[in-house]
A and B are shown apart, each in its own frame.
Chain A
Amino acid sequence: MKNKAWLFLIPTLVLVAINAFIPMMTVVNYSFFNLYSGSTPEFVGLQNYYDLFRDPFFHSALWRQLVFSIAVLVVQIPLGIAIAACMPKKGIGVTISLVLLGFPLLIPHNVVGIIWRLFTQDNIGIVPTVLAWFGYTYNVAMSPVDAPLTIFVCDVWHWTPLIALLSFAGMQAIPDAFYQAAKIDGASTWKTFRYVTLPKMRNVLTIGILLRFMDSFKIYDEPMTITGGGPGSSTTFLNIFVARKAESYDLGYAGAVSIVYLLIVMVVSYLFFQVLSRVGKGGADK
């Protein structure tokens, strides 16, 4: 029986492994070479890694990325759950809500960038004008505060619907009997949510948190389209930093940054995965 499981997984493993392993090995290989200076690659051992740990630009890109990713989780997860909780549970309202929520997810990432550029650019968008009514001078292209905030709001706009969709599915899968039991016990709306709904959404929320954490590190097209990574380096997130290095043919260094970045995301995601599947389990068993 056990061998049968692997038989069924062959197509998956082949397809994912080809796409994952070979390019990954190439990048690991890059990271030990100096591919920058000339035509002949020069083996430099750990030099690239040594350089990047002393590179202040890498530090600031990494720091910016971590703040961004944490903010993404802190805002999008509760907001998504709240939206799912507020959605109608049956009837035509469900279909309408699902369609509206599904829509932003179907917009290509660079088009999301275009949408927000048109929306926020000075002279073109409504945002600067509306904020000016409230006495705030907004300029996405010039202000190192407005630019990252805009990217963040754009990301909330783009991805909160995914969390809402996942949460909604998680809530719909909870059998009615649990709610009836809570009602008989006289639990308030909040308590029902906290002790019945939330623990039952463990699986869905684990995936939601993992997806958002991993994907937030990949943000690239939106800042490239909206701000181009600037002003200064205020929206140069990690992936843009890597791309800049790769574009300037410093592939060895870019490779080293990628490997470090992958290790960070993988370790943190794995911790999330472990903690979430354990904490949730305790809650659900009670």
Chain B
Amino acid sequence: MTKERFFKWRYVFLVVFFFFLFLPVYWMINCSLKFDTEILSDLTLFPKQLTFKNYDTIFTSPDWRSSIINSLAYVFMNVIITLLAAVPGAYAFSRWKFMGDKHLFFWLLSNRMAPAAIFIVPFMQLYSTFGLFDTHFAVALGHCLFNIPLAIWILEGFMSGIPREIDETAFIDGYSFWRFFRKIFFPLIGPGVGVAAFFAFTFSWVELIIAKALTLTNTKPLVVQLSVGIGAEGVKWGLMAAAGVVTLIPGAIVVYFVRNYMAKGFALGRV
């Protein structure tokens, strides 16, 4: 009896929390479909006068369109670079004990905490020296700072779950390292790679300060366009809301595609 009651309450709690997650987002979507006059005059749960004017402004402007493409470009590059570096890195952490491995891991993770605002100028200088300033590649590399450590940590969890005997047996059977990795190991950690890719995508997509520091006009990302393109002549609330909604779309698509991977990945690994 008490157990059944507990079951009931936990779902009530979940639904309340999900409602709390959903409501502010809904409000933004709602605002994006209104005229500014209506946003400022009435509080209505549905637009009285439905309009797609705000979206039209965004999708017909070349500035906005190219910024969406720029963002997607560096995010995908970053995911690939992150995985290429993190998969072998995580393998090292999971298979070998070496001097200072715990501390090295802490150091890697601690790079997340750099107070980004002050790093704007040094980052600009660094990537200008490489001649990469204002390219997609620069942002993709810059985001490795926080994405690689996270990906290593996720992948290490998955890899440690795979018994070491599998490696050893394969080597005894005469597999070369590369062949073992491709044919046996990689398929086993597939869900882990999916989860790591998801998190890398996420953190690269949402990051603003490094992306802003390393880009100027050619590769201006969506998140930057968002903060400069709107406030120029007073706040355009409807446009701001619509732009916000646009930034949600790639995330929603990614979540939709990786949903089964996520469920499987989260069930398997200790993330």
Residues of A within 8 A of B101 (CB): 5
B112 adjacent to A106 (CB under 8 Å): no
Residues of A within 8 A of B109 (CB): 207, 210, 214
Q: List 13 A-B contacts (CB under 8 A).
A: A6-B98, A16-B111, A20-B111, A83-B14, A98-B266, A108-B223, A108-B247, A114-B240, A118-B27, A124-B31, A220-B209, A262-B113, A266-B113
Residues of A within 8 A of B23 (CB): 119, 126
A173 adjacent to B248 (CB under 8 Å): no
Residues of B within 8 A of A6 (CB): 92, 98
**8 Å CB contact of B40 from A102, A115, A123, A210:** A123
A67 to B6, CA, bound (A): 34
Interface status of B25 (Cβ within 8 A of chain A): yes
Which residue, of B24, B85, B114, B125, has the highest number of chain A Cβ atoms within 10 A? Answer: B24
Interface status of B232 (Cβ within 8 A of chain A): no
Q: Number of contact residues on A: which range applies?
A: 35 or more
**8 Å CB contact of A19 from B86, B91, B98, B145:** B145
A15 adjacent to B115 (CB under 8 Å): no
Interface status of A4 (Cβ within 8 A of chain B): yes
A239 to B10, CA, bound (A): 37
A125 to B148, CA, bound (A): 38
- Binding-face segment, A70-78, A139-147, A164-172: A164-172
A6 to B104, CA, bound (A): 11
Known: A16-B111, A20-B145, A173-B270. A254 touches B88 (CB 8 A): no
A262 adjacent to B223 (CB under 8 Å): no
Known: A16-B108, A86-B10, A97-B14. A106 touches B142 (CB 8 A): no
Residues of B within 8 A of A262 (CB): 113-115
A22 adjacent to B108 (CB under 8 Å): no
B247 adjacent to A107 (CB under 8 Å): yes
A11 adjacent to B117 (CB under 8 Å): no
Interface status of B77 (Cβ within 8 A of chain A): no
Residues of B within 8 A of A22 (CB): 122, 126
Residue of B nearest to A170 (CB): B270
Distance between B225 CB and nearest chain A CB, rounded to angstroms: 11
Q: Mark B213-238, 1 if CB is under 8 A from A, else 0.
A: 00000000011001100000000010
**8 Å CB contact of B119 from A27, A98, A204:** A27
**8 Å CB contact of A116 from B24, B40, B208, B241:** B24
Distance between A3 CB and nearest chain B CB, rounded to angstroms: 9
A22 to B81, CA, bound (A): 20
Kindly identify, within residues 98 to 116 of chain A, every residue whose CB is under 8 Å from any CB belonging to chain B.
Answer: 98-111, 114-116
Q: Mark B190-206, 1 if CB is under 8 A from A, else 0.
A: 00000000100010011
B117 adjacent to A111 (CB under 8 Å): no
A104 adjacent to B40 (CB under 8 Å): no
Residues of B within 8 A of A129 (CB): 43
Kindly identify, within residues 1 to 35 of chain A, every residue whose CB is under 8 Å from any CB belonging to chain B.
Answer: 1-2, 4-9, 11-12, 15-16, 18-20, 22-24, 26-27, 30
A106 adjacent to B122 (CB under 8 Å): no
Residues of A within 8 A of B110 (CB): 214, 266, 269
Distance between A152 CB and nearest chain B CB, rounded to angstroms: 14
Distance between A9 CB and nearest chain B CB, rounded to angstroms: 5
Known: A111-B244, A170-B270. A102 touches B262 (CB 8 A): yes
Residue of A nearest to B124 (CB): A23
Residue of B nearest to A94 (CB): B263
Known: A16-B148, A19-B145, A118-B237. A103 touches B112 (CB 8 A): no
A110 adjacent to B223 (CB under 8 Å): yes
A5 to B3, CA, bound (A): 49
Kindly identify, within residues 4 to 42 of chain B, every residue whose CB is under 8 Å from any CB belonging to chain A.
Answer: 6, 10-11, 13-14, 17-18, 20-25, 27-28, 31, 39-40
**8 Å CB contact of A86 from B14, B40, B113, B259:** B14
A119 adjacent to B24 (CB under 8 Å): yes
Known: A107-B247, A115-B28, A129-B43. A242 touches B271 (CB 8 A): no
A12 adjacent to B86 (CB under 8 Å): yes
